[in-house]
Amino acid sequence: MENQLRPGRGEREVIVVGGSAAGLFTAASVARGGRRVRVLESKPQFEPAARTLIVTDHFRSQMGVSARESIINEIRRFELFTDGRSAQVALRKPDLIIERSLLIPALAREAQQAGARLSFDTRFLGIGPNASGLRVEIETNGKREELHADNVVGADGAASRVARASGWPPIETVPLVQAIVRLPKDCPPDTTRVWFVPDDTPYFYWLIPESAERAAVGVIGENGVQTKRCFERFLEKKHMEPLEWQGARIPVYRGWVPVHRQIGNGEVYLVGDAAAQVKVSTVGGIVTGFRGALGVAQALLQDGKSPELGALRRELGTHWLIRRALHHFQQKDYSQLVDLLDASTRQSLGEINRDESARLLWNVVRRQPRLVLLGLRGLLMGKAERCIRV
Ligand SMILES: Cc1cc2nc3c(=O)[nH]c(=O)nc-3n(C[C@H](O)[C@H](O)[C@H](O)COP(=O)(O)OP(=O)(O)OC[C@H]3O[C@@H](n4cnc5c(N)ncnc54)[C@H](O)[C@@H]3O)c2cc1C
């Protein structure tokens, strides 16, 4: 990656707001390209909350050696369930289970090794133009200060203050809740389970094993209270007892968020959840957030040019199309979907991962053209529902 990025000409620091996945990845990439970088993180120290995450094999090609230490398990099979039906998909390249509380410190070490400076207990408050670039207001260790920079990168999550202060409109979010449970006896530790229950959620429930002993079970919904109620009922029905809880609001991608804005003579960029860089079909934001971070690093180091951002936009657009097709599915549609997954379609699903969604979609519909009709019906149902609401 270092070879793709040539040093920029800016003398002044790049300020990255937010020391989590996307921010630290941006900081490392920009620092490797020869720019001075400072990361501002509002938390007093690096003790990121535990969070079990599943990513595709794509993660390995993005990460340095030390971040790969955050991989705690590998998934070789998916089992899909709906209304008494099921289908199994064997993965040619295993998915990876990563633990966020290991990933973030590893990314921080990589950013520091690349030369980035990390400042904790430092909260971004606001931004404005100064004579030559940007004036950044912060509160650090309880005191207000002003910093000056040419470039600021907002990596401060779904409720990004950088985005609001710079004039981006707010992005829609949905609740995601996850419980750590003992791995059920009938579930192998290398198998992820997904349940489609459209009466509960237009998204899905999942179980991802962390080890032979523990798994994360979770759901994404649309309404916080209702999602929690459905989740509790689901856990009870499956005889799963929560040992720990994890959760937050996740951005919903509804079209490309332009990642760049000019303020006076300075430039502001957004990466990760702050720019809704989340695959809205499965609501995964790690790999796509890193891609957004790499894209912004390229833009900062290559006079605004970034091939990665164009590719990411196409990728997120395909996931948005898939989500729109699925979002209004009723039980009979999911039943038909699972019935249509014959051996050849399941082979495509196992061979091509969801971070290559256009190739995956094309291969799946080529092998099972009836899925096109089902998808079109989903898109039309969504359109009809929007017309009724209007
Ligand atoms: C329970 C759960 C499970 C998930 N599972 C998966 C999964 O399996 N696979 C997957 O790919 N994705 C998953 N996601 C989504 C994924 O975790 C996010 O997309 C990703 O972590 C976003 O990273 P980020 O760096 O963009 O933002 P964040 O992780 O939200 O980081 C923002 C950082 O900015 C800091 N900050 C905020 N405001 C300020 C400020 N004013 N000043 C300074 N610092 C500030 C915060 O303290 C934080 O450190 C899951 C999310 C949740 C909640």
**What is the average per-residue pLDDT within 284-309?**
95
94 contacts 137 by C-beta, under 8 angstroms: no
Helix, strand and coil in the chain, % to nearest 5: 40, 30, 35
pLDDT at position 389: 55
253 contacts 271 by C-beta, under 8 angstroms: no
Whether pLDDT at 6 is above 50 = no
Q: Rounded CA gap, 310 and 259, in Å?
A: 11
Percentage of residues of the chain with pLDDT beyond 90: 83
Q: Tell how far the Cα of 146 is from the centroid of ligand 1, in angstroms.
A: 26
Whether pLDDT at 5 is above 50 = no
Q: Rounded CA gap, 138 and 140, in Å?
A: 6
Boundaries of every domain in the chain: 2-49+100-172+253-311, 73-98+173-251, 320-389
pLDDT at position 82: 97
**What is the average per-residue pLDDT within 190-217?**
97
287 contacts 62 by C-beta, under 8 angstroms: yes
Reported as a pLDDT band with limits 50, 70 and 90, residue 218 is: very high
Q: Cα 157 to chain center, whole Å?
A: 10
The encoded tokens of residue 107 equal 């990314």
Reported as a pLDDT band with limits 50, 70 and 90, residue 3 is: very low
pLDDT at position 73: 97
Atom of ligand 1 nearest to the CA of 43: 47
pLDDT at position 387: 59
pLDDT at position 11: 62
Phi and psi at residue 148, to the nearest 5°: -130, 135
Atom of ligand 1 nearest to the CA of 271: 26
Whether pLDDT at 196 is above 90 = yes
Tell me the pTM: 0.94
Closest CA to 118 of 187, 28, 10: 28
Strands 14-17 and 37-40: what pairing? parallel
Closest CA to 160 of 152, 151, 149, 168: 168
Find all residues with CB under 8 Å of 242, minimum gap 6, and list them: 179, 180, 181, 235
- Residue holding tokens 């008494």? 84
| CATH number at 2-49+100-172+253-311 | 3.50.50.60
Q: Rounded CA gap, 285 and 291, in Å?
A: 10
196 contacts 341 by C-beta, under 8 angstroms: no
Segment 135-194, tens digit of pLDDT:
999 999 889 999 999 999 999 999 999 999 999 999 999 999 999 999 999 999 999 999
Strand partners, 76: none
Taking domain 73-98+173-251, whether its CATH number is 3.30.950.10 is answered by no
pLDDT at position 94: 97
Atom of ligand 1 nearest to the CA of 40: 43
pLDDT at position 80: 96
Rounded mean pLDDT of the chain?
92
The encoded tokens of residue 340 equal 């249509």
pLDDT at position 9: 47
Question: Among 42, 257, 271, which residue has the most ligand 1 atoms within 8 Å of its CB, making it the best to mutate?
Answer: 42
Q: In the structure, which protein residues have their CB atom closer than 6 angstroms to any atom of ligand 1?
A: 17-23, 40-43, 51, 53-55, 123-124, 155-157, 161, 176, 178, 246-248, 250, 272-273, 278, 284-286, 289
Q: Is 308 strand, coil or helix?
A: helix
355: burial class by Cβ within 10 Å (0-12, 13-18, 19+)?
A: buried
Specify the residue with its C-alpha closest to ligand 1, atom 6. Answer: 53
5 contacts 32 by C-beta, under 8 angstroms: yes
